[in-house]
């Protein structure tokens, strides 16, 4: 459903007001920092694109996760043409992005294979998690290409800070499902450490203990 505040902004596009809206509705902490530095052609174009994307997006409730994750694979994949002197930090980001693309592609290929809907829902949410990080990495790479400045390393799992206790508890349960599937050999082994790191962060935020 369209967001009235963003709809109003799209008709006048005052930059500072748009930045405030992205701080309120956007989820990319790195992009928030870049936009807050002031208006440039790059920042204005990025701001408009992101606010339009937010305004047009569907909710990520569990009953829609399968549909949303399917749509992700209709988006053209960006390809990098990199100079020989590309910084190591950028190469590491690209390697991470490529691993996430492979994982998301693998999970997507099995979404409609007749398993229980709950199991497919877990995979669909993981695909969305992968795409959130892939999108963030693309933002970092676009920034580097535009400015030649190496982005600051973002805080691990920054999205957790914006979640309510109820959302954190839901995320905790999803992560436990991912880890259970990993233990059963259904997911890529390299993702297990990431799941456990994020789960430990949630435990600390909730003053909870693993069970």
Q: What is the DSSP letter of 153?
A: P
Range picked from 105-109, 158-162, 202-206 for highest mean pLDDT: 202-206
Same domain, yes or no, for 120 and 160? no
The structure tokens 């600390």 sit at 204
Q: Which letter does DSSP use for residue 75 in this model? A: S
Cα diameter, the chain: 53
Distance CA 84, CA 71 (A): 34
Provide the number of structural domains found in the chain.
3
End position of a domain, from candidates 57, 76, 96: 57
Q: What was the pLDDT predicted at 205?
A: 86
* pLDDT digit string, tens, across residues 62-80: 444 555 455 555 555 555 6
Which of 100-104, 126-130, 156-160, 207-211 is least confident?
207-211
> If you ran DSSP here, which 8-state letter would residue 190 be given?
G
How far apart, in Å, do the first and last CA atoms of the chain sit?
A: 39
19 and 86 both lie in a single domain = no
Do the Cβ atoms of 6 and 54 come closer than 8 Å? yes
Which residue has tokens 């990993």? 182
Regarding whether 139 and 69 lie in a shared domain, the answer is yes
Residue 117 and residue 138 in one domain: yes
- Same domain for 71 and 118? yes
């Amino acid at each position: 459903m369209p967001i009235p505040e963003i709809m109003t902004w799209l008709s006048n596009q005052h930059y500072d007001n748009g930045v405030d809206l992205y701080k309120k509705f956007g989820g990319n902490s790195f992009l928030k920092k870049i936009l807050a530095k002031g208006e440039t052609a790059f920042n204005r174009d990025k701001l408009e694109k992101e606010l339009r994307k937010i305004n047009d997006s569907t909710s990520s409730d569990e009953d829609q996760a399968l549909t949303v994750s399917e749509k992700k694979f209709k988006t053209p994949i960006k390809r990098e043409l990199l100079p020989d002197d590309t910084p190591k930090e950028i190469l590491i980001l690209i390697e991470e992005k490529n691993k996430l693309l492979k994982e998301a592609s693998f999970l997507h290929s099995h979404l409609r294979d007749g398993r229980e809907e709950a199991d497919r829902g877990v995979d669909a949410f993981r695909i969305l998690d992968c795409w959130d990080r892939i999108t963030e990495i693309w933002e970092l790479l676009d920034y580097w290409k535009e400015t030649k400045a190496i982005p600051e390393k973002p805080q691990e799992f920054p999205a957790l800070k914006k979640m309510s206790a109820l959302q954190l508890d839901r995320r905790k349960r999803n992560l436990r499902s991912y880890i259970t599937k990993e233990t059963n050999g259904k997911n890529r082994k390299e993702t297990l450490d990431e799941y456990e790191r994020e789960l430990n962060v949630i435990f600390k935020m909730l003053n909870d203990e693993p069970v």
